[in-house]
Structure formats: C-alpha cells, structure tokens
C-alpha cells in the first residue's frame, strides 16, 4: 500500500496560499473556513501534519481532525521542534541560528513533560487507528557523532510506542550509514528518504526502505537558488516537479510498497498548491484513482492536471 499526500493542508496566506486556487473561495458552494481538511481528504488518504512542529497538538484538536476525515485516512505527525532543534531561551522563541546551535555541540533539551504532552495529543489519532507515523525532522546542522547518536537513541526510546520516521540532512549520517542503520533497526524506525537541492554536505541516500514495517519519503522540491536564503520562508518550497522528474519516485515508491507493509510519500513543495499538483500526478503514475474536486483556477494554472483529472472531478463553477 502506497499512500500519497502533502505536507500540511492549510496555507491560508502569503503569495503561496492555497485559498482560491485549490480550496474554493469562502462562501462558494457553502464552503467555510474550517472545511479545508475534509475537502483535502476527498483528494488524498493521508497528510503530514506540520503545524505540530510549531505547537504541540492537543487531544481536542486531533480528535476534531479525526472526526473531519473518513475511515481509512491516516495522519503522519511531525514532532515538535524542541525535540529536534536547539531552542533559544524565552517562551515562544524560535530555534537558534544554525551556526550558534552547533557551537559547543549543543543538543535539544526536551523534558519528560514535553514528551508526555505530545503523546497525550496523539491519543485520539492512535485510538482511532488514524495515526500513520511520527516524523522527527532534524536540521542540516545535526551532525553524526557520539553525542547525537546517543541523543537519537534516547528520543527513539521515548517514542518507541509509535512508528517513528527520522529525517536527517547532514552527510555525516550517510557517511556513517552502518551505525545509523543499526540504530534504526534497533527501534524499527524508518530512515526518511528525501529529495531536496543537493550541496556538498547534503545527505546521500539510495531511496531504498531500511525496514519492513513502513517506508517514508518526502519531496521538498529543488529550488536551490532560494534554499538557504529565501526572501520569505515559503519561497524555499516554490518548485514544481515535472512529470518526468516525478516518474522515478513513482517507480521507487511502487517498488518499496511491495517490500514493506505500508509506504508514505509526501510532497512538501507547498508554494501555491504545487504539492497538491505533484501529489495528484504521482497518484496517477502509481495507477491510483484521481478523486475529489479540481477547480478551474487549479487546472488553468497547472495544465498538467488537465491530462489526468477526469471530467466528473472538474468543478466548472
């Protein structure tokens, strides 16, 4: 089973908003603010929750998400940044700049209470059977060494009751592949396979699954020019994969899906709903039905969809 979705479903503002292009305008056909997740779930059977990276989920919120989605839908939830990034002092402070975070071999310092709070927020998803995986995304400055390996072992142990997917971006982890894979095998954690602009110290991966339990892939886009210094954070993800660029990932996901119990493939190139477009193309390449409503604004902006969206899914009003 290969599930294809996007990283996040709510992008209500900025130049890269989804409102009015993927989502109907407020009031159109009775569409209201808060209907986005249910609308999204008509198109895809999984989503990666990114908001939990910035704010731990509450049980009330995740219970509402569960209620808004059909049976069989699954959420993969990104772990809060305090588990993966070195945080500046002060309530609500952002992560430290990369260079400062690495100075002195700094490591994240989450508490037991932090872990308990996050787990409590996941309870409604886990109880409903809609929790896919828990994703921990480390920054490019998180290098492989004895301290970081020990930290990662402790983190995986703290969340051992969930399927864990770990995204590492620094090349030192792939250079020490045997140690990295050994740790993941110990906890049956998936090594997240990523596509992103590649630089000298970027991680190198073969895109193959490392465990049979599940497979996890994220496509971030290839906007190398704006990767490190975007004018706005959303600009980093302003990239549309071509059909030809996506085809190898469809082949990889299909092959992985035959070797694992479940496979997740998420598109994070979310600028102006480009992830929606590419996720739809990937579903089509995998032989999965294209479902849900596609508005004329989306079809006109991205002509590739006109070739694969069936007539009954085209909303003409």
Going along the chain from its start, the domains and CATH numbers come out as 2-313 (3.20.20.410)
Average pLDDT over residues 152-163: 97
Q: Give the closest residue to 299 by CA, choosing from 290, 291, 307.
A: 307
- The average confidence (pLDDT) of the chain is 92
Both tokens of 267, joined, read: 């598109």
Residue pLDDT, tens place only, 249-301: 999 999 999 999 999 999 999 999 999 999 999 999 999 999 999 999 999 99
The reported pLDDT for the residue numbered 94 is 46
Q: How far apart are CA 200 and CA 183, in angstroms?
A: 25
CB distance 11 to 52 below 8 Å: no
In the predicted structure, residue 29 carries a pLDDT above the cut 80: no
- Could you give the CA distance from residue 150 to residue 147 in angstroms, rounded to a whole number? 5
Cα 114–118–119 angle (5° rounding)?
Answer: 115
- CA 90 – CA 298 distance, rounded (Å): 42
Beta-carbon count within 10 A of 146 CB: 9
Q: What is the pLDDT of residue 95?
A: 45
Q: Rounded distance, CA 179 to CA 156, Å?
A: 15
> CA gyration radius for the chain?
19
Average pLDDT of span 106-128: 95
pTM higher than 0.85: yes
């Amino acid at each position: 089973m290969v599930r294809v979705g996007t990283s996040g479903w709510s992008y209500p503002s900025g130049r890269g908003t989804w409102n009015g292009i993927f989502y109907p305008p407020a009031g159109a056909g009775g569409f209201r603010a808060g209907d986005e997740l249910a609308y999204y779930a008509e198109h895809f059977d999984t989503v990666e929750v990114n908001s939990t990276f910035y704010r731990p989920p509450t049980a009330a919120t995740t219970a509402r998400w569960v209620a808004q989605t059909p049976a069989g839908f699954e959420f993969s939830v990104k772990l809060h940044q305090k588990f993966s990034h070195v945080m500046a002092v002060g309530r609500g402070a952002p992560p430290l700049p990369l260079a400062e975070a690495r100075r002195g071999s700094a490591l994240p310092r989450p508490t037991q209470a932090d872990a308990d709070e996050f787990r409590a927020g996941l309870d409604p998803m886990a109880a409903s059977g809609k929790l896919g995986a828990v994703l921990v995304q480390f920054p490019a400055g998180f290098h492989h060494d004895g301290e970081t390996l020990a930290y990662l072992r402790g983190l995986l142990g703290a969340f051992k009751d969930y399927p864990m997917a770990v995204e590492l971006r620094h090349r030192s982890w792939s250079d020490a592949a045997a140690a990295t894979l050994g740790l993941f095998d110990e906890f049956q954690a998936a090594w997240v396979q990523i596509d992103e602009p590649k630089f000298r110290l970027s991680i190198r991966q073969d895109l193959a699954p490392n465990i049979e339990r599940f497979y996890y892939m994220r496509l971030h886009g290839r906007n190398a020019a704006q990767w490190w210094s975007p004018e706005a954070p959303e600009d980093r993800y302003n990239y549309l994969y071509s059909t030809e660029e996506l085809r190898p990932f469809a082949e990889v996901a299909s092959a992985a899906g035959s070797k694992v119990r479940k496979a997740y493939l998420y598109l994070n190139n979310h600028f102006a709903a480009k992830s929606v477009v590419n996720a739809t193309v990937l579903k089509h390449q995998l032989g999965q039905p294209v479902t849900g409503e596609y508005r004329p604004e989306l079809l006109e902006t991205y002509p590739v969809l006109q070739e694969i969206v069936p007539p009954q899914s085209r909303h003409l009003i």
